[in-house]
A and B are shown apart, each in its own frame.
Chain A
Amino acid sequence: MAVKDYIRKRFFPHIWCPGCGHGIVLNNLLRAIEKLKLKKNEIVMTSGIGCSSRISGYVDFHTLHTIHGRALCFATGVKMNRPELKLIVPMGDGDALAIGGNHFIHAARRNIDITAIIMNNRIYGMTGGQFSPLSGYGTKGTTAPFMNIDHGFDVVELSKAAGATFVARTSTYHVKQMVDILADAIDHKGFSVVEIMSQCPTYFGRKNKLGGATDMMTFYKDHTTPVGSKEKKANPELIERGIFVHEDLPEYCNEYDKVIEMAKASLK
């Protein structure tokens, strides 16, 4: 099945700005799904609110465009009811970690078989460029015209601490790695987190004088390094990318089935 067979062509061209990284995430998410040879009917995508969350409108799977920060809650409901389906939840950085921060850490803690994709553009793009929990100290946004004094989360460390059993990071520059990581994440039985650094040239790029989309992608190329590389020791400023955690632990729906069996047995 070709990649374009997975999209709802009637909604194209999409609403994202020229050079927006979210389109690259969509492009390569479809390639990962094609690599896994999944059928459209096997996939459910739930999303919340924001530029990133518009992605669910463009894919021809079962899709739920839900409320801000609560995409993982809807996904949990679908998964508990139909555990055989693949749940993919793309979220923006604000949607996942500010508005939906609590839902995010608890979904990770339960190790429910859902793939959470954090499309990290470090800003609230749709509402006009307010700083987000991933903007980071010293950056600028429309609500921080002088300087943002909030420190950013490290998505990888946060996900590890919360108990996610698959944690990875990549960028919109590293598209081949993105396909491989997304395929591994979707295939993983448990809670998977994939952070994808995604450029917002319209707001984050402009407010922070980072240039256009190509400049921001070149930054990802020059300022990242594979996880565990020597370069990171020499230059701690580099951002590591790759798979940080990949372990098998009991999955939530399987464990819940066991409780149902125990309850049934107790009635005999």
Chain B
Amino acid sequence: MGKPELKELRINRDWCKGCGICVHFCPKEVLDLDQEDKAVPVKPDQCICCMMCEMRCPDLAIDVILK
């Protein structure tokens, strides 16, 4: 099995409350908050698919979809 590869980092903007937990704990600074305080993947190519953002999201708003 090779390393998992990211297909899509899907954020549910209706559920995201902009707490910033995913942004803060991402080891590769993949995510950031936009002007509406919603999480957005700004560097998806850096994602190592550790799944920590998906698991730590209190709002169940993140899906890390693998290839």
A residues near B, CB below 8 A? 3-4, 7, 12-14, 16-24, 26-28, 31, 172-173, 175-176, 179, 212-214, 217
- CB distance B19 to A26 under 8 Å? no
- CB distance A175 to B58 under 8 Å? no
Known: A214-B24, A214-B25. A175 touches B56 (CB 8 A): yes
CA of A17 to CA of B60, assembled, Å: 13
The residue that A7 contacts in the complex, of B17, B57, B60, with Cβ under 8 A, is B60
CA of A19 to CA of B61, assembled, Å: 12
- Tell me how many residue pairs across A and B have CB atoms closer than 8 Å: 66
Q: Which of B22-66 contact A (CB under 8 A)?
A: 24-25, 52, 55-61
Chain B interface helix/strand/loop/mixed: loop
List the B residue with the shortest CB-CB distance to A179.
Answer: B55
Known: A13-B14, A31-B55, A214-B25. A18 touches B19 (CB 8 A): yes
- CB distance B58 to A22 under 8 Å? yes
- CB distance A12 to B15 under 8 Å? yes
CA of A14 to CA of B17, assembled, Å: 10
List the B residue with the shortest CB-CB distance to A7.
Answer: B60
Please name all residues of chain A whose beta carbon is closer than 8 Å to the beta carbon of B60 when the two chains form the complex: 3-4, 7, 12, 23, 26-27
CA of A19 to CA of B25, assembled, Å: 13
- CB distance A217 to B25 under 8 Å? yes
Please name all residues of chain A whose beta carbon is closer than 8 Å to the beta carbon of B56 when the two chains form the complex: 24, 27, 172-173, 175, 217
- CB distance B59 to A214 under 8 Å? no
* Size of B's binding interface in residues, CB under 8 A: 17
Please name all residues of chain B whose beta carbon is closer than 8 Å to the beta carbon of A4 when the two chains form the complex: 60
Known: A175-B52, A214-B24, A214-B25. A13 touches B59 (CB 8 A): yes
Interchain nearest-CB distance for B27 vs A (Å): 13
- CB distance A19 to B57 under 8 Å? no
List the B residue with the shortest CB-CB distance to A213.
Answer: B19
- CB distance A28 to B58 under 8 Å? no
Q: Can you name 11 extra interface pairs (CB under 8 A) apart from A18-B58, A212-B20?
A: A12-B15, A12-B59, A13-B61, A18-B18, A18-B19, A19-B19, A19-B21, A23-B58, A26-B58, A175-B52, A214-B21
Please name all residues of chain B whose beta carbon is closer than 8 Å to the beta carbon of A172 when the two chains form the complex: 56
- CB distance B59 to A14 under 8 Å? yes
- Between A and B, 9 residue pairs with Cβ closer than 8 Å are A3-B60, A13-B14, A13-B15, A18-B58, A23-B58, A23-B59, A24-B21, A24-B57, A175-B52
Please name all residues of chain B whose beta carbon is closer than 8 Å to the beta carbon of A24 when the two chains form the complex: 21, 55-58
Please name all residues of chain A whose beta carbon is closer than 8 Å to the beta carbon of B20 when the two chains form the complex: 19, 212-214
